[in-house]
Structure 1
Amino acid sequence: MYGVIFDFLRSYVIERHGGRATWDALLAEAGIGYKVYFPVAQYPDEEIVNLASTAARMLKVPLPAVLEDFGDFVGPSLVTYYEMFVRPEWRTFEVLENASNKIHDAIHRHNPRRNPPELRATRQGEHRMLLTYHSERRLCFVAKGIVKGLSKKYGEDIEVRETQCMHYGAERCHFEILRRSPVGYGMD
């Protein structure tokens, strides 16, 4: 996992859960101690899972809720961080359609150890999209949160329903994403 995600996690903890002291306490509780994460360096996946699990325990909140909230926080930050790969006219659906085949490919092109999640977005009309997620990391809760965060960034009213989940035996996670139409228009 790239260090940029750890840096986003640090920002998330600081902004939504009590400041720098909470981040330092999280690192200590997770057995990591003081650490600086460099954005393009890679760190073990287990380390982010350890931090997220420890955060859930410290906050007394279920891990899926923490991961989804983190995704909601990080979605807009990812678009800003990787703005050179995102067209200004894009909104949630366009970002999702281009995440795997254009954005991930451009980011990971020169890294032989790359392991981005597989995302497949298929439009089912102007207001409906199916999103398939697959990753050995099994962080579908983060993916769901990212969709919600993107919708907030773009001022869209979007509902995300997970219809299949790897945590319940499915090979891939499937999300149905419904964008509510503007007032006066029906959904297709």
Structure 2
Amino acid sequence: MKGVIFNVLEEMVIKKCGMQVWNEILYTQNLDGIYTAGESYPDSELFALVTEISSQTKIPAEELVGSYGEFLFAQLAERYPLFLENKPDLRGFLKSVDSVIHIEVKKLYSNPSLPKFEYEDLPDGRLLMRYHSPRKLCILAEGLIRGASSTYHTPINIEHKICCHKGDPHCDLIIGFPDE
């Protein structure tokens, strides 16, 4: 996992809970908490931090990861506005994640471990984003999508019945755009 992911997690915890809570989390996990944005760190370290944050804040891990995804999107959009350039609407942005956004991420960071998406415009106007990743961070992907929805001021709903956490080989995130 790239350090920028840890940096933004730290920002969220400090903003919502304070520096003391972040320091307690690091102490409990025996981590120094120094993360360089472009460096890679073990996924297990992120998962341990999420588990400890959940324990200290009493926020269920799934809810915490989803909220973090929303916060992460806003921070990444602020740090890397070029990712949003030439994407006038949410649907266009979402459909560009694999073919444009992830290509740009690979230019910024060496060897990022990114999920893969397949897309399908459904007959009823919804968008299917099929998520593939051995990390199984589909809840983070949902949060990122909700964060994009906020940034684009476009209401959505997400259906997530097919899920790798239920034994399925991938996750189907079906995004509805009720205002379209």
TM-score, scaled to structure 1: 0.87
Distance 2:73 2:90 in 1: 10
**What stretches of structure 1 of length at least 5 have no aligned partner?**
182-186
Report if aligned partners of 1:96, 1:121 keep a CA contact under 8 Å in 2: no
Distance 1:176 1:129 in 2: 6
Q: Does 1:115 align with 2:113?
A: yes
Summarize the alignment of residues 22-171 of structure 1 with structure 2, pairs less than 5 Å apart: 22-32=21-31, 34-87=32-85, 89-109=87-107, 113-124=111-122, 127-171=125-169
Alpha-carbon distance change, 110 to 154 in structure 1, aligned in 2, over 3 angstroms = closer
1:52, distance to aligned residue in structure 2 (A)? 0.7
Q: What corresponds to 2:8 in structure 1?
A: 8
Distance 1:86 1:95 in 2: 7
Report if aligned partners of 1:157, 1:180 keep a CA contact under 8 Å in 2: yes
Q: What corresponds to 1:184 in structure 2?
A: none
Distance 2:27 2:177 in 1: 41
- SS of 2:41's partner is coil
TM-score, scaled to structure 2: 0.91
State, as a whole percentage, how many aligned pairs show the same letter. Answer: 26
1:113, distance to aligned residue in structure 2 (A)? 3.3
Distance 2:10 2:109 in 1: 24
- SS of 1:93's partner is helix
Alpha-carbon distance change, 148 to 112 in structure 1, aligned in 2, over 3 angstroms = closer
Aligned length: 180
- SS of 2:67's partner is helix
